[in-house]
Amino acid sequence: MTLTDIVIQKVIVRLLQGQDYRTEILALINASFLQYVIEFFGKVAEAKLKNQSIDGDWYKREFLLAPGLTTNDIIINAGLNTKTVSNQFKSASRKVVLEVAPEHYDELYKAISTLASQSDEIDLTLTIKFRGVSVDLNITESLIVINTLAVKRAQLRDGAWSSVGKRVEKYLMLTLCHLHKVPDYCYELKGRTTQEREVDFFLVNPATGKRFSCEVKLMGKGNPESADAVIARDSDVFVADTLSMLNKQQLTTRKIQWVELRDRDGYKQFLNVLNALGIPAQPFTGDLDSAIETIFEQVFPHISDETVDIPLDDTNFDPHNE
């Protein structure tokens, strides 16, 4: 699953309109997950059909030990994640995964089998129709498949939320600058602070040459940690989806310029930030939707709905830390 320029544009539009951007990401997660489910069910049905006359654990043979599987496939199929393996065994190399995944799966299989045998009142059969032939999975097999899908869903979800912030930051700041007619010599797309911390976007005062580090965080009001992190990193400008009153007080006290996009016409707060930092700018008075469309043609020069940007299969997600 990838985060395309089209999705990034939709997120930015919703942010500038003061709307919740999360619906765009949820739609992407859902579409990608359902596509994975369909493909995975097809593989499960095909594997079960191929192994119907063979004794033993067909799922383990086909989804953990088959030579054509990628390392990430093996990890997910075993109900694990790269970060989990790496944290426990100091490595997530293929050699380590081939040793660890079957062992973890055996423990999972044993636990599910025990649970299934003790649940006399509940029976579960998952039927998959594949190429006109129905395949039935018993309760143990069904729970193994459901567990794999749950891990994959968590991986996609975590990767999406992690990627959207990274991908949106630069283009959101560029769009805000274009809306307020900031000259291109008054911002830089990448650099380092005096503490040698890499920052994706700087505003630059043309008279003094002073640079101001900018940070974007798409967080909810119930997540103050992001604002705390900005304060700790000593950023100069903070652009957020939402901010609590405490966040605003903390930022103002520390003389950190801030913008809350969820406010009514929240994007216009950016002009106050520019004026405070001595950055040449003009107030925006036109039609927002039309202006954004024109700006996107400049900042997204090669738009394609098929653009591959950031993979959302975040293998660093650790389900055991949820």
Lowest-confidence pick of 40-49, 137-146, 228-237: 228-237
Residue-wise pLDDT for 95-129, tens only, equals 999 999 999 999 999 998 888 888 777 788 889 98
Q: Judge whether 256 and 235 are in contact, CB under 8 Å.
A: yes
Token pair, residue 136, equals 């039935």
Query: Does residue 306 surpass a pLDDT of 50?
Result: no
Q: What is the rounded CA–CA span in Å between residue 131 and residue 223?
A: 48
Q: How far apart are the first and last CA of the chain?
A: 22
Question: Structure tokens of 107?
Answer: 């423990």
Question: How much is the average pLDDT of 24-34?
Answer: 89
Q: Is the pTM of this model over 0.85?
A: no
Taking Cα atoms as reference points, which of 1, 8, 304, 18 lies closest to residue 166?
Answer: 8
Q: Is 224 exposed, middle or buried (0-12, 13-18, 19+ CB in 10 A)?
A: middle
Could you tell me which CATH number the domain at 168-311 has? 3.40.1350
Q: Where are the chain's structural domains?
A: 2-161, 168-311
Residue given tokens 């995944």 in the structure block: 101
If DSSP codes are grouped into helix, strand and coil, which group holds residue 49? helix
- pLDDT band, residue 317 (cuts 50/70/90): very low
pLDDT digits (tens, 9 = 90+) for 251-286: 998 899 999 999 989 999 999 999 999 999 999 999
What mean pLDDT is predicted for residues 65-83? 91
pLDDT in tens, 201-229: 899 999 999 999 998 888 655 555 555 66
The Cα 118–Cα 139 span in angstroms is: 12
The pLDDT assigned to 174 comes to 94
* pLDDT score of 313: 55
pLDDT at 34: 92
Task: Let me know: does 187 contact 173? Beta carbons within 8 Å.
Answer: yes
pLDDT at 119: 74
Residue-level pLDDT at 312: 52
Determine the pLDDT at residue 56: 58
Residues 6+ apart with CB under 8 A from 175: 12, 16, 292, 295, 296, 299
With a cut of 70, say whether residue 194 has pLDDT above it: no
Q: Is 173 helix (H, G, I), strand (E, B) or coil?
A: helix
Residue 233 pLDDT greater than 90, yes or no: no
Mean of pLDDT values over 70-86: 90
State percent of the chain over pLDDT 70: 83
